[in-house]
Amino acid sequence: KMNSDGRIPGKLYIQFVMGVKNAMPVDRDVFDYYVKTVKRLAPDAQWCAAGIGKDQITLNDWAVSAGGHARTGLEDNVRLDRETLAPSNAALVKRVVELCDKYERPVATWQQAREILELRPS
């Protein structure tokens, strides 16, 4: 309602961050509830999901398969797996690209990502 009546202007971009201690758990039922709620209350909103640490790839998978966007990067996770440090953000992005291929979802260019987030062109 705050968006539709103008108190929160512009397009909504909603982000679910799961796996933070004492916050939203990494639970598929919880995730599905939030996605359904966003679609019901703000059907035009863009949304993404992020998982912290080992849960990053799980949330990336859930988000891409459910039609949302995925947040990834060294800010939230420094490992590719339990034994392997991620050498770069690009290595983590590559995993999300593979998920997009798996679910036949397009991968945004950096320009498209800035547009989705309503950031000024660089």
Q: Output 18-24 pairs: Cβ under 8 A, ≥24 positions apart.
A: 18/49, 18/50, 18/51, 18/52, 18/55, 18/59, 19/51, 19/52, 19/53, 19/54, 19/55, 19/56, 19/59, 20/52
pTM: 0.91
Tens of pLDDT, residue by residue, the chain (122 residues): 788 888 888 889 999 999 999 999 999 999 999 999 999 999 999 999 999 999 999 999 999 999 999 999 999 999 999 999 999 999 999 999 999 999 999 999 999 999 999 898 88
- Please tell us whether the domain made up of 13-116 is placed in CATH 2.170.120.12: no
- Going by C-alpha positions, the residue among 81, 82, 84, 13 that lies closest to residue 50 is 13
